[in-house]
Structure 1
Amino acid sequence: MRTAAGRSQRTKTLSTVELTQVTKSYPNGPRALDEVSLTVPRGSFIAVMGPSGSGKSTLMHCASGLDIPTSGRVVLDDTVISELSETRRTELRRKRVGFIFQSYNLLPSLSIADNLTLPLRLANTAPDKDWLRTLIDRVGLADRLAHRPAELSGGQQQRAAIVRALVARPAVVFADEPTGALDLRSARDVLDLLREMVHSLGQTVVMVTHDAAAAAHADLALIMADGRIVDTVHAPTAADLARRVTELETE
């Protein structure tokens, strides 16, 4: 993966996220990120793997604007988010970033239909009904919209979470262990769906996972250790990724 370079905020680029020499430090501890530079191309599916404590989650938090780096530069959808206030970062995330979590994070008191459009309501934006219908049809939830989350299986809830993440047409979706709570079949279905969204709809997805089989669905896997990207694997296989992470854990 090529090193990110500085870009003008006013010029549309071929990348969705760029990190340049990003470091994140916490008091009385080692660097969670150590001068990380990377570029996430538009329309790509990237997995981030590594041993526990390698910096995977911190990378996602800084890249998505949930946190700011101690030093370095983060550009998301041509905006330098590392220089924005918390209020401005929150506004940008609502409009340009989607999130998928292991725990689904659907509101139990709302119907699936209301859960799907919640990000738009928070941003005071009307839904694009045609786009919403396209997403609902893609994930096969048309007959579940009136149900509450507890009435759906785990796989169906995660499909709903995917629609919710995509409903605002975000520049990038960050998925944090999206299959961690699912059985093998549901996990495979969700990963196939994410891959379809990338290849059919041009969505950009960055997925943090400890699961080599999940990461093998991505176009590219980044391997992290000690706050750095130590390996880049194109067209990854589960066996290769599992072996590489095991080597890092035993070094």
Structure 2
Amino acid sequence: MNATAVGTGVDTGRRAPAIALAGVGKTYAGGVRALDDVSLTVEHGTFLAVMGPSGSGKSTLMHCAAGLDSPTSGSVRIDGREIAGLNETARTELRRERVGFVFQAYNLIPSLSVEDNITLPLRLAGRRPDRDWIGTLVERVGLADRLHHRPAELSGGQQQRAALVRALATRPTVVFADEPTGALDLRSAHQVLDLLRALVDDLGQTVVMVTHDPAAAARAHTALVMADGRVVEAMDHPMASQLAARLAALGEH
């Protein structure tokens, strides 16, 4: 499967997709082909999970789609803007404006309060925080009484929720989440996944999540399974058991 369209069935009219990849390839030094002619469209307000065995290309797909890396060939658009040919400075500016990131490591600065961590990307970009928007997010994730705490005073789940608010503070076109529950206990992982899904369903946020966990991927509207740099299957309303079986068939243990 070379071309995949992902959406929720909502009519987006003439608005450009949140993400559009066309014929994207990525070859690293030594001839290692991490992505092989991948075409993918992700509509706004969609929760997409990307899975696959180690070396399948899922992380490279995220890096190219998010502007963290440049493809060797093909087109990458975020909200209609071509980014594949941009230089590093221009890609950095686009990421700052259009993209939010949540990683397995929370990447909070220990010496700053939760509030200062959340607003730091805005301040670095010279933008004034939208206090109403951030207040809405903080209330939704249950951190309103933790804003003046340092990260070390929060649980892992609370730190990841703070990282999620930080990613959303700029009102990005898309949030990329790379193994966002990998460092969390089961209860905290469920809470973070519930929040991600609610942000999509209630606020229309677009989320692309890379994960090894079939249970996490089952929270998404659609799950893509990758192998050998290509999308080999797209599952709408995925079930964890289906995803686990598909990964097992591809040699994931």
- TM-score, normalised on structure 2? 0.94
Q: Which amino acid aligns with 2:163?
A: A
1:131 maps to which of 130, 133, 137: 133
1:188 maps to which of 177, 186, 190: 190
Report the Cα offset of residue 12 of structure 1.
5.8
Which residues of structure 2 form unaligned runs of 5+?
Answer: 7-12
> What residue in structure 1 maps to residue 9 of structure 2?
none
SS in 2 for 1:75: strand
Aligned pairs (5 A) from 1:127-206: 127-206=129-208
Higher helix share: 1
**Mapped pair 1:122 → 2:139:** no
Which residues of structure 1 form unaligned runs of 5+?
Answer: 5-10
2:102–2:176 CA contact under 8 A, matched in 1: yes
1:152-194, Cα deviation, whole Å (9 max, x unpaired):
0000000000100000000000000000000001000000000
SS in 2 for 1:31: strand
> What residue in structure 1 maps to residue 32 of structure 2?
30
Distance 1:3 1:19 in 2: 10
Distance 1:87 1:30 in 2: 26
Report the Cα offset of residue 13 of structure 1.
2.6
Report the Cα offset of residue 16 of structure 1.
0.3
1:223 maps to which of 222, 225, 250: 225
SS in 1 for 2:205: coil
Q: Which amino acid aligns with 2:147?
A: L
1:24-60, Cα deviation, whole Å (9 max, x unpaired):
0011142000000000110000000000000010000
Q: Aligned pair in 2 of structure 1 residues 118, 55: CA closer, same or farther (>3 Å)?
A: same
Q: Which amino acid aligns with 2:49?
A: A
Kindly tell me the number of residue pairs found equivalent between the two proteins: 244
1:101-120, Cα deviation, whole Å (9 max, x unpaired):
00111111110000000110
- TM-score, normalised on structure 1? 0.95
Q: Which amino acid aligns with 2:37?
A: E
Aligned pairs (5 A) from 1:23-102: 23-102=25-104
SS in 2 for 1:114: helix
Distance 2:114 2:80 in 1: 33
SS in 1 for 2:251: helix
SS in 2 for 1:236: coil
Q: Which amino acid aligns with 2:168?
A: L
1:12–1:78 CA contact under 8 A, matched in 2: no
1:89-109, Cα deviation, whole Å (9 max, x unpaired):
100101110000001111111
Structure 1 stretches of 4+ moved >3 Å: 1-4
Which is further off, 12-21 or 72-81?
12-21
Distance 1:31 1:220 in 2: 25
SS in 2 for 1:232: strand
SS in 1 for 2:250: helix
> What residue in structure 1 maps to residue 214 of structure 2?
212
